[in-house]
Chain A
């Protein structure tokens, strides 16, 4: 649940999402669910000319499994805390495996 927990803190931030089919979409992250499906508002498709079918889309729901990258605002990530969270996650996983 680490990633879920992490992305929850990024709601209402502007992120850029690159899908596995190379489409890049910038928008405001409105919500994320436990499958990391993403809801973006006020979207802007980069290189829109290549994707005419998205020209009139204003917000979208993206299935988590097709996301390749999420580009985040650096200032909104607490790296130290994230490291700790990662350690805890690892400890949790180890605990569960046992």
Chain B
């Protein structure tokens, strides 16, 4: 519905066959051609194609035709002043630019149909064009108006997805026939009018824009195509026939100094960040009447369909319908219309801003950006890929956290799936450039390669490369960082002495922490070794076997190193005030956390040694020693509880894992150690201590049930068990933590159950008597609790009760 003959669509919104660049190829000239045709009457007879509908048009609004189509009648000749070549030359820069720009966007069509000549006249020749259109003031030409609707992007050759339909449908029949007519005329017009301009265009393109990168640049003198015509009409309140009443907000939209020219590369600007749906309709709508969007599929086959096809009643993100047809605007409720107009105004404002900003776009070419990126990558390689070392371990060493984290957490999320959106036309490359680009790429890569090598060959210059980004960045800071604190030490005699942090002397503490780090570095070395394990050797492949043996040897020596730094084999000094180094090691969270990793790298014998050390020192373990109930306090301090939790989570599973496979004699030996070497009643008052006892007792029971225990072994076990039972019996009530309401006593019931299973009937009797009160209390207490908590407590108790053949149900 452009009455002025210029293309009101953005280049981006046009498709390949319907438009040939800045403007649609044939339309402006089609008018002229048509005029010729009508005058000369040698191609198409007007009467042949005129369906007479024009006669039925109401003529009562013709008085506005002059306003609509320009001053009427002054010049009725059919624009003889179309100096195609001259006019083209005036705007050749723009055309050439636009041509290549277009070919960038539409690689396919650019290759197939490069016929951009015709639109050239448009911007510069608006005067001429204006006089040319004055024939329309003659009512007899009204049908031609519909012919112009091809400018809307409605083309029968390429069936339009949905949205085009409403606009097209009203005049479809007439339009269709005219399209056909036009097609014929176009042929003629094309032959007569365009070759010269076309040739010129080609030469322009070839000579001035041999390389795609320049095309990003939009010159400052880019002539906008002012839609002043329409403005004038709207301001006067007159509307071209068939156009809906102007939205009330519209005149303001044009208040800005520069209206949107259709060719402005909106997409290069901020709206690249806009939601894809809100943007596309914006540009053209304000310059001309609302019109259907032309989808881009032909050029962008890889974009998902739904982004492209405007659905009739789709709504934008804020719930305002996307208007594709004037009719729709009228159908809206007042509220919706206002909202829509506000949105529209916003869009227009933004587009105007973008237009203003875009004038200097492309100062920096993609090559510049790429160049800088590569410089940085090279710096990064120089800094990370540490000079001469040529193994992947170097990268791992520099980027350990990221690399391993990505492995563990399942890959980084740096590349979310590319969000479908309007592809920025400035990013696409036409097929014609593809081959050349490949070539560039190869050369570029060779250069990067060389650059990287050069950077690596000259590590001395590293500092120079690194320095300078964002000004001076001194990496020496890593070793000698700028001090943020500068506290002068008070004279040693005065001032408060540092408080002792732990019961270990400072030197002990330091040596223990040193041991700890030694353990960790051995662990990391072993883990690295595992990663570099050579493939299992084939039979007879001596070399591979050799490699493998060497690897095993290395691993073994690392194992020995690890074992030494663990200090497990340090002699046990009885009655020493300083704890055994290994036990001290375990008193640090780092030490506890290391146990699972250590257990992976040591053999069974080493594991049992560790277990033995722990059992022997059970009552000097921090998690036992510090966990002794303090009168007046329901539970140990927070720090101790954390230590206990950590021990339970990190160390216990490892020990349990071993115990579950340990032979019976070892279990017997361990129980003996507990009885002989530790203060059993102290041990039993802690979660960890009870846990270990439970572990041993239940394992013995399993061995016995499986029938794997010899009679002799079993006798030994029973003997030890009896001693344990007798020792514990007196303190059985003390093994419960705190009062009944303090919660977690499950591990106690587990222990009691383990004892109960192994106990003789007589011992069971004594057991029941010892804990009877606690059982009864728990049962009654559980009734006051919410159902799930109560049943939890009950089932804990029942674990024990069942072990001795009873059930809480029996208690009523």
Direct contact of A and B (CB under 8 A): yes
The verdict on B406 contacting chain A, using a C-beta distance below 8 Å, is yes
Q: Is B136 part of the contact surface with A, judged by Cβ < 8 Å?
A: no
User: Cβ of A93 and Cβ of B401 under 8 Å apart?
Assistant: no
A9-B406, A37-B470 are contacts. A93–B478 as well, Cβ < 8 Å? yes
Whether B379 contacts A34 by the Cβ 8 Å rule is yes
Question: Which of B122-130, B257-265, B516-524, B548-556 is the contact stretch?
Answer: B516-524
Q: Mark B465-478, 1 if CB is under 8 A from A, else 0.
A: 00001100100001
- CB of B383 within 8 A of CB of A92, answer no
- CB pair A35 B405 closer than 8 Å: no
Closest to A6 in B: B401
**Do A12 and B416 contact each other (CB < 8 Å), given the known contacts A78-B405, A93-B479?**
yes
Q: Which residue from chain A places its CB closest to the CB of B478 in the assembled complex? A: A93
**B401–A81 contact, CB under 8 A?**
yes
A11 within 8 A of B: yes
Q: Which of B360-393 contact A (CB under 8 A)?
A: 376, 379-380, 383-384, 386
The answer to whether A65 touches B478, judged by C-beta atoms less than 8 angstroms apart, is no
A54 at the interface (CB under 8 A from B): no
Q: How far in angstroms is the closest Cβ of chain A from B364?
A: 16
B residues near A63, Cβ cutoff 8 Å:
470
A57 sits at the interface (CB 8 A):
no
Taking CB as reference atom, which chain A residue is nearest B398?
A: A1
Interface residue? B502 (CB, 8 A): no
Query: CB within 8 Å of B: which of A1-48?
Result: 1-2, 4-6, 8-9, 11-12, 33-35, 37
B810 close to A (CB within 8 Å): no
Smallest CB gap from A12: residue in B: B413
**How near does chain A come to B511, taking the closest CB pair, in angstroms?**
18
* With contact pairs A87-B521, A97-B479 given, residues A35 and B414 touching in the complex (Cβ less than 8 Å): no
Q: Are B524 and A88 in contact (CB under 8 A)?
A: yes
Instruction: Tell whether A52 is near chain B: CB-to-CB under 8 Å.
Output: no
Query: Within residues 45 to 98 of chain A, which ones have a CB less than 8 A from any CB in chain B?
Result: 58, 63-65, 78, 80-85, 87-89, 91-93, 96-97
> CA separation between A85 and B412, bound complex, in Å?
17
Summarize B's interface: helix, strand, loop or mixed: helix
Given A5-B402, A85-B400, residue A35 in contact with residue B412 (CB < 8 A): no
Chain B hits for A5, CB < 8 A? 398-403
Q: Contact: A34 with B406, CB < 8 Å?
A: no
User: In the complex, what distance in Å separates the CA atom of A11 from the CA atom of B593?
Assistant: 28
Partner of A81, one of B273, B405, B479: B405
Residues of B near A92 (CB, < 8 A) are 386, 397-398
Q: Does B408 contact A (CB under 8 A)?
A: yes
Say how far A96's CB is from chain B's closest CB, in angstroms. 8
Asked if B469 and A81 sit within 8 Å, CB to CB, the answer is no
Cα of A9 to Cα of B408 in the assembled complex, Å: 11
Residues in A neighbouring B379, C-beta threshold 8 A: 34
CB-CB under 8 A from A65, the residues of chain B are: 470, 473
Contact B593 A88 (CB under 8 A): no
B404 to chain A: closest residue by CB: A81
- Distance between Cα atoms of A84 and B526 in the complex (Å): 13
Contacts of A81 in B (CB 8 A): 401, 404-405, 408
| Chain A residues near B398 (CB-CB < 8 A) | 1, 5, 92
A80 to chain B, nearest CB (A): 7
Complex interface: chain B residues within 8 A of A8 (CB): 399, 402, 412
Let me know if A84 and B400 touch, CB within 8 A: yes
CA distance A5 to B405 in the complex (A): 10
Chain B residues within 8 Å of chain A by Cβ, number: 34
Q: How far is the CB of A88 from chain B (nearest CB, A)?
A: 5
Judging by beta carbons under 8 Å apart, are B414 and A78 in contact? no
Residues of chain B in range 580-597 having any CB-CB distance to chain A below 8 Å: 590, 593
Residues on A with C-beta less than 8 A from B403 are: 5
Smallest CB–CB gap between B278 and chain A, Å? 15
Given known contacts A34-B383, A93-B478, A9 and B399 CB-to-CB distance under 8 angstroms: no
Min CB–CB distance A85 → chain B (angstroms): 4
Nearest B residue (CB) for A85: B401
Q: Residue of A at shortest CB range from B528?
A: A88
Shortest C-beta distance, A64 to chain B (Å), equals 8
**Choice from B273, B401, B469, B470 contacting A2 with Cβ under 8 Å:** B401
Q: Given A12-B414, A93-B479, is A33 in contact with B376 using a C-beta cutoff of 8 Å?
A: yes
Which chain B residues border A93 with CB–CB below 8 Å?
Answer: 478-479
The answer to whether A88 and B408 touch (CB under 8 A), given A34-B383, A63-B470, A93-B479, is no
Q: Which residues of B contact A1 (CB under 8 A)?
A: 383-384, 398-399
B405 nearest CB neighbor, chain A only: A9
B473 touches A35 (CB 8 A): yes
Q: Is the CB of B402 within 8 A of A9?
A: yes
Residues of chain B within 8 A (CB-CB) of A37 are 470
Contact present for B521 and A84 (CB under 8 Å): no
CB neighbors of A among B513-556 (8 A) = 517, 520-521, 524
Please state if B479 and A84 are interface contacts (CB–CB under 8 Å). Answer: no
CB < 8 Å neighbour of B593 from A80, A87, A91, A97: A80
Interface residues of B in 442-497 (CB under 8 A from A): 469-470, 473, 478-479
A84 CA / B397 CA spacing, docked (Å): 11
A9 closest partner in B (C-beta): B405
Q: How far is the CA of A62 from the CA of B681 in the complex (A)?
A: 61
Q: What separation, in Å, do the CA atoms of A4 and B395 have in the docked complex?
A: 13
Q: How far is the CA of A78 from the CA of B407 in the complex (A)?
A: 12
- Please indicate the chain B residues that have their CB under 8 angstroms from the CB of A34 in the complex: 376, 379-380, 383
* Contact status A87-B383, CB under 8 Å: no
Q: Which residue of A has the minimal Cβ distance to B403?
A: A5
Contact partners of A33 in chain B: CB under 8 A = 376
**Looking at A88, A92, A93, which has the most chain B CB atoms within 10 Å of its CB?**
A88
**Nearest opposing residue in chain A for B590, CB measure:** A83
Q: Is the CB of A78 within 8 A of B520?
A: no
Contacts of B469 in A (CB 8 A): 35
CB distance from A1 to the nearest CB of B (A): 5
CB neighbours (8 Å) of A64 from chain B are 470
Interfacial chain A residues near B413, Cβ < 8 Å: 11-12
Q: Tell me, in angstroms, the Cα distance from A36 to B178 when the chains sit together.
A: 64
Q: Which residue of B lies closest to A82 (CB)?
A: B401
Q: Which residues of B contact A97 (CB under 8 A)?
A: 479
> Do B470 and A9 touch across chains, with their CB atoms under 8 A apart?
no
Q: Which residues on A sit within 8 Å (CB–CB) of B399?
A: 1, 4-5, 8
With A5-B398, A9-B402: A87-B520 Cβ-Cβ less than 8 Å: yes
**Cα–Cα distance between A91 and B590 once the two chains are bound (Å):** 18
How would residues 428 to 443 of chain B score, 1 for a CB under 8 Å from any chain A CB and 0 otherwise?
0000000000000000
Alpha-carbon distance between A80 and B401 when the two chains are bound, in angstroms: 10
In chain B between 11 and 29, which residues have their CB closer than 8 angstroms to a CB of chain A? none
Q: Can you offer 14 A-B residue contacts whose CB atoms are under 8 A?
A: A1-B399, A8-B399, A9-B405, A11-B413, A12-B413, A35-B473, A65-B473, A78-B409, A83-B590, A85-B404, A87-B517, A92-B397, A96-B386, A97-B479
B: which residues have CB within 8 A of A?
273, 376, 379-380, 383-384, 386, 397-406, 408-409, 412-414, 416, 469-470, 473, 478-479, 517, 520-521, 524, 590, 593
* Extra contacts besides A6-B401, A34-B376, A84-B400 (14): CB < 8 Å: A1-B383, A2-B401, A5-B398, A5-B400, A5-B402, A6-B402, A9-B409, A11-B412, A65-B470, A84-B520, A87-B520, A87-B521, A88-B400, A89-B400
Top 6 closest pairs, chain A to chain B, by CB: A85-B401, A5-B402, A5-B401, A9-B405, A8-B402, A85-B400
Binding site for B on A (CB under 8 A): 1-2, 4-6, 8-9, 11-12, 33-35, 37, 58, 63-65, 78, 80-85, 87-89, 91-93, 96-97
